[in-house]
Amino acid sequence: MQLAVDAAARESMWRAVEGSFRLGAALIDEGGRVMEATPGLARVFGADSLGGAPLAAHVAEEDRGALAHALREVAGGAPERVLRLRPPAASGPASLELRLVRGEDPTRPLTAIVADRSEQERIERSLLHTERLRLLGEMLLGSAHELNNLLAVILSTSDAVPNPEDAALLRSATEDARRVVSRLYSFGRAPSGDERPERVAPEELLREALEFTRVRWQRQASAAGVSIEVKTRYDACEPVLVARSELRHALVNLIVNAIDAMPRGGVLRLSSGRDGDAAFLRVADTGTGFASEARERILEPFFSTKGEAGLGLGLSIVVATVARHGGQLVADSTPEYGSVFEIRLPLAGEEDAALTPERDAHPLPAPCRVLVVEDNAELRSIVTRILRRDGHEVAEADSAEAALALDLGPGRCDVVIADLSLPGMSGLELASALRAGGHTMPIVLTSAWGVELDESLRQARGVSSVLPKPYRLDALRAALAAAQQDAQPG
């Protein structure tokens, strides 16, 4: 059959390219030969001209079989077929879609519509990442309660570590882990103010981050049979006002990325100092680096240079953390020579000195009778032992129902410390039951879920405070002392 390219066929071809992602269209005979094409379509396929040549000659060899099959089906009566094409030209779009359409008039050529799918595929990848994050979030939230209980056991026993430096490092790492879990709970919400800002020397943050990561990168280098050399330069600089663990976590992220970028070993350089009215904290490596096109997107969420091994969120979280502190993250890299990431932060003013928290300033609670209600046996045992060591008389229960079965009459119990998420009745329901039974002792709730109780709800249930897990011994003592204060008349 002789196919004719008439005005109606040309009009159909031009209508086909109306759309923001459509690059062009062509009229094709049943044998797959291009009869006519819109201007510019040849460049998409890396050719000077498409006219008169089979379309298959301009697509990747791996796609020619699928194209031939689609042409046969449309020529045989199918209204349309759609297939994906590999990028035919290095300078063109990253992904193409070819749609073959047969009109109602069989005497007219087939219309081939070529569209750029790059943006659509980027959106699809982002949606897949989002779904992965949603599932990951559900898994994390499901296990966070037990994780915080385990951290509470570690933190509560850190005072028993004989070496003071090891004990301090253990407490600091556990506190950081607790805050990481807390940020997972509040992801997407404004910061809850869990950690007060304090004045810290920039070099101190870098030293702490290096110490936190030392075991990981030394083990990684040893296993790979390579050497990681660390060079530091800390110039004199005024303090910065930061949430210490948040900035330390951001620096840990940068150091881990730097180590991952040096699979054959190399030099890790850490430096800090003052530049104008800002402090800088710099993490540099001699690793693989990244290309100029990646440099433009390296700080975007979901963009990763690690392929399937990375979610592409680490650096975007660092960006958000630095921005919350009024700073900026600057990145630079040269392929095969390495990368430099620099955090710039405003210097702390003299008026910020009063914001630095004083540590361990809580008074010791007076010895009293305490009921500990906790379903985690290890944590219940640790808390009971600590309170008894402090001179308190302690009773235990593993559920709200077991607690209510005890004799809690006058002189039997001064303070109740109960987990919020007990099996069966919750800690809040236990508080209500105690108040309904005429008991007036103060109640301290502990929580591994990162929840905060409304002030009016706390007061209505007689809850003195909510202590987030994991908690340090001084925090437990402070909560108990505050509860005793609440119990005093007047």
DSSP string of 133-157? HHHHHHHHHHHHHHHHHHHHHHHHT
Residues of the chain with CATH 3.40.50.2300: 369-487
pLDDT at 451 over 80: no
Class of domain 369-487: alpha beta
Q: What is the mean pLDDT of residues 157-184?
A: 71
Which is higher by pLDDT, 478 or 180?
478
Provide the pLDDT for residue 141.
59
Cβ density class 144-165: b for 16+ within 10 Å, e for less? bbebbbbbbbebbbbeeeeeee
Question: 197-356 architecture in CATH?
Answer: 2-Layer Sandwich (3.30)
**Torsion sign (Cα): 436, 441, 446, 452:** positive
CB 84 within 8 A of CB 95: yes
* Mean pLDDT of all residues belonging to the chain: 78
Which is higher by pLDDT, 272 or 168?
272
Which is higher by pLDDT, 256 or 40?
256
Q: What is the mean pLDDT of residues 301-311?
A: 46
Residues of the chain with CATH 3.30.450.20: 7-116
Q: What is the mean pLDDT of residues 198-212?
A: 91
CA atoms within 13 A on the CB side of 279: 29
State which of 44-48, 137-141, 187-191, 475-479 shows the largest mean pLDDT: 475-479
CB burial of residue 138 (10 Å; 0-12, 13-18, 19+): exposed
Percent of the chain with pLDDT strictly greater than 90: 24
**Torsion sign (Cα): 355, 357, 361, 367:** positive
Distance CA 447, CA 309 (A): 33
**Torsion sign (Cα): 154, 157, 159, 164:** negative
Provide the pLDDT for residue 452.
60
pLDDT at 188 over 60: no
The partner residues of 100 in beta bridges, in order of sequence, read 81, 112
Q: What is the mean pLDDT of residues 317-333?
A: 85
Provide the pLDDT for residue 270.
97
Question: What are the two backbone dihedrals, phi and then psi, of residue 74, each rounded to the nearest 5 degrees?
Answer: -70, -40
pLDDT at 100 over 70: yes
CATH superfamily of 7-116: PAS domain (3.30.450.20)
CA atoms within 13 A on the CB side of 326: 12
The pTM of this model reads 0.43
Provide the pLDDT for residue 232.
96
The structure tokens listed for 222 are 């040893």
Question: Under 8 Å CB-to-CB from 411, ≥6 apart: which residues?
Answer: 369
Distance CA 191, CA 16 (A): 50
Provide the pLDDT for residue 361.
47
Provide the pLDDT for residue 228.
92
Angle between helix 314-324 and helix 244-260 axes, rounded to 10 deg: 150
CB burial of residue 424 (10 Å; 0-12, 13-18, 19+): exposed
- DSSP secondary structure letters along 221-234: HHHHT--EEEEEEE
pLDDT, one tens digit per residue, over 34-45 is: 888 887 788 777
CB 84 within 8 A of CB 96: yes
Helices (H) and strands (E) in the chain, counts: 14, 17
Q: What is the mean pLDDT of residues 179-200?
A: 60
Provide the pLDDT for residue 470.
78
pLDDT, one tens digit per residue, over 10-60 is: 555 455 544 444 578 888 887 888 888 887 788 777 778 887 888 888 888
CB 352 within 8 A of CB 342: no
pLDDT at 315 over 80: no
Residues of the chain with CATH 3.30.565.10: 197-356
Provide the pLDDT for residue 212.
81
Which is higher by pLDDT, 182 or 371?
371
pLDDT, one tens digit per residue, over 350-360 is: 554 444 444 44
Cis amide bond preceding 202, omega within 30: no
Full strand arrangement of the beta sheet holding 96-101: 34-37, 22-28, 110-116, 96-101, 80-85
pLDDT, one tens digit per residue, over 397-435 is: 999 999 999 999 888 999 999 998 888 899 989 999 999
Percent of the chain with pLDDT strictly greater than 70: 73
Provide the pLDDT for residue 101.
87
